[in-house]
Structures are given as structure tokens and as C-alpha cells.
Amino acid sequence: MNLKIEWAYKHPKQQKESLIFTSDFLPLDEALFFVEDIEKTGRVKQVAFFDKAGTHWSKKELLRLQKERETEPHDVIAYFDGGFDKDTLRAGVGNVIYYKQNQKDWRIRENEEIKGISDNNEAEYAALLHLVQRFETLGIHHQDVIIRSDSLVVVKQMSGEWPCYEDTYVPWLERIEKQLQLLGLQPMYEIIDRHDNKEADQLATQALQGKKISSQLDRSS
């Protein structure tokens, strides 16, 4: 989770209004560290924190979130891919999630078969929704998450670089954005080569073959 700090500085010998300073966006731990250091000067009138969605956070709220993060999933990097069978109108979706929790590195691999899909791009949207829903069950919330895929259409439309006019895709996009907002997640979408997305691609293919996969691996052991 990245935050911008705004603080009011007032010199004890000056009767004028305080000066307002604003920082760049900083990771949660760094933002709290710098604020505590600034406060030692005794010249900070008030401090406010804002995330990239413009939500205001108090220092007390962030300290509580920081403590919770010690036992909750964080540093999330996730991959998604969707496969499509035009003869059966079925999709196979695959997700891979890397994250840290309780000072350990974890990897989750999952897939699912979804029926009633019209084309490959819709299959990719279904894969992304499946991934975001998995974020919720894992307790991933109020942080930045990196989401990677080789689906140019979905990544460009979800990131707002391309408009989405297709009636088939709009409901998927809206459901995904609503779920991300409810979880307080700030996604950072990244386009990758298909080769770099081979784990999620294989899972999607296995789903179309009727092979259900659901695994969690402790990568730190």
C-alpha cells in the first residue's frame, strides 16, 4: 500500500499560517517511519495520509493496518490466464498468486472451468474475476497488488488505457472493478510475454481438460 503524506508545519515563533508539505507516494512502512521522525521536531501541526484512490487515513488507522499486515497476506504478485473452447463455449481459467504471510513466501495455483463463454477475451475476463474473488477469500485487502497477464485487451481495458465498448466485456469489467474497490485494492497491471505466463496458461488448459487444480506451497521451506 502506497501513501502520500500531507503535514502542516508551524514554527513556534511565527504567528502566520502553517505551511503545508506533501510527499511522494511511499510504502506504508516508510510513510509511518518518516512521519514519526518529522513529529520529533515538535513543529508538526497536523498530519494526513492519502492512498492512490484519494482515501484519507489517520496515523492510528495505519498503525493498526501495519500490525494486521504482519499476519495477513501482503506483497502480492498474481498471474491470470483464460483458455477458450469455441466448440463447447467453455473457458478454462488459471490463477497463480505469490504472496508473503507470517514471514513466509507462499504460492497458490488454482483453476476452474466456466461455461457460457463467447470468446477468448471473455475467458480472460473470467480468469481475472476468479483471481480477484480469490483475493477476498485469502484476506488480501487495502494494499497495492501486481497483476500480470499476456492478455493485451484485458490489461489495457482494465488499466483504462483502452476504452471498453463491447457489451460482452463491460459487465465483467464492472464486476471486477467493484470487487477491487470493496477490498480497497489498488491493482498495478503489467503485460508479460506468454512464456512468462506459462503457469497460469497450463492451469487454464488443464481446466478445459477436466483436471481440477488447487494447491498451496510454502516456498520458504
CB 205 within 8 A of CB 83: yes
Report pTM. Answer: 0.80
Torsion of CA 64, 65, 67, 70, to 10 degrees: 170
Torsion of CA 150, 166, 158, 180, to 10 degrees: -120
- Give the span between the Cα atoms of 77 and 211, in whole angstroms: 24
Residue 191 pLDDT grade (very low, low, confident, very high; cuts 50, 70, 90): very high
Quick: pLDDT tens for 71-114. Answer: 889 999 999 999 999 999 999 999 999 999 988 999 999 999 99
**pLDDT, average across residues 165-171:** 94
* Sequence-separated (6 or more) residues with CB below 8 Å from residue 158: 128, 173, 176, 177, 187, 189
User: Would you call 190 helix, strand, or coil by DSSP?
Assistant: strand
* Structural domains of the chain ordered from first start: 2-69 (no CATH), 74-218 (3.30.420.10)
Quick: pLDDT tens for 172-190. Answer: 999 999 999 999 999 999 9
